[in-house]
Amino acid sequence: MPPQFASLLSLAAAVGLVLGAVSAQAQSAVKVEEVPYAGWQHAYRITNGTVTAIVTADVGPRVIYFGFNGDRNEFHEFPDQVGKTGGTEYRSYGGHRLWVAPENDRTYFPDNVPVRVVRQGSLVKFIAPVERKPFATNLQREIDVRMPASGAGLTLIQKVTNRGSRATRFAPWSISVMEQNGTVILPLPPKASWDKQHLQPVGALALWSYTDFQDSRWTLGDKYIELHQDTHPTGRYQWQKIGVRDQAGWGAYYNNGHLFVVHSKFDPAADYSDYGANFETYTDPTFLELETLGSMQRVAPGQTVVHEEQWSLFKDVPAGRGDAWVDAHVLPLVR
């Protein structure tokens, strides 16, 4: 073998050893352990030393907890539901869940039975059984959690597979149930003066029968819409909800110095449900939801649709409301 080839092979082997060591170190930095949580005997704690996620395996799955190590849960939990298993009634439980849109009966399939857990390195997969009973949607949902070796965030790879014998149409719908007394922030399309280059609409807003912008929980700015969670609302309706065509692909929730940011890629060619909304938010006196949606698709038997989210968490963020506050204290973190 020519000497230069031998040198190249030696270099390649050395690089491979280094990359393998880095990969092993990254995996070892993320700890995964089975733990009891809130009355459930089987849950999985995933942590990199900065943030922790806890995912239920007795039901769901739900990412029931996400927060800084040793700190509060950023998600809301329903005290009368956590720890329960079995039964045919739908339970939200709280935390983060995977639904399907449009909203109808099959959206509320009662996922109250154990899920299969598969670990592949730093990726942990939570695979629910096919939905057959108490009624057959023939869908199978899966939430895969990938946490980096460092930093305050994670990636969710969410999948819905059609296990039936016929094609069906739906979109993956990802919902984070946030704790009380915070504010969601959603960006609006950039503004520009009227001219011949700006004759077409640049965004869409989905409204529900109970959406009331006179409600004090709303802050309508030029650049952002904010919705505050209030345990004692004084408006006409206790519920509020909107959907937006969020081309920036992010939404955030501010609560007592912490900022939870969700990125979900926007596809301008996609067919989003709810008048084209890919981000939605809902609140009532108990909690607030920050929601993302994938595109509506005709899903053939055996086909899987995938919807990803990237989460980031920040602390020591100053409080405020309105466009100037978002520009100064939220947008730099989102970027």
- Model-wide pTM > 0.85: yes
* Cβ-count burial 182-201 (b if 16+ within 10 Å, e if not): bbbbbbbeeeeeeeeeeeee
How many Cα atoms within 13 Å fall on the side-chain side of residue 239? 8
Q: Give ∠ CA 140-142-147 in degrees, rounded to 5.
A: 175
CB of 210 closer than 8 Å to CB of 237: yes
Single-letter amino acid, residue 167: A
Beta pairing, strands 116-120 & 96-101: unpaired
Model confidence at 16, pLDDT cuts 50, 70, 90, reads very low
In tens, the pLDDT along 290-334 reads 999 999 999 999 999 999 999 999 999 999 999 999 999 999 999
Does pLDDT of 159 surpass 60?
yes
In tens, the pLDDT along 191-204 reads 999 999 899 999 99
pLDDT confidence of residue 122: 81
In tens, the pLDDT along 38-79 reads 999 999 999 999 999 999 999 999 999 999 999 999 999 999
How many Cα atoms within 13 Å fall on the side-chain side of residue 321? 12
Q: What is residue 66's three-state secondary structure?
A: strand
Q: What is the mean pLDDT of the chain?
A: 93
Model confidence at 121, pLDDT cuts 50, 70, 90, reads confident
Beta pairing, strands 240-244 & 51-56: unpaired
Domain ranges of the chain: 97-334
Q: What is the CATH number of domain 97-334?
A: 2.70.98
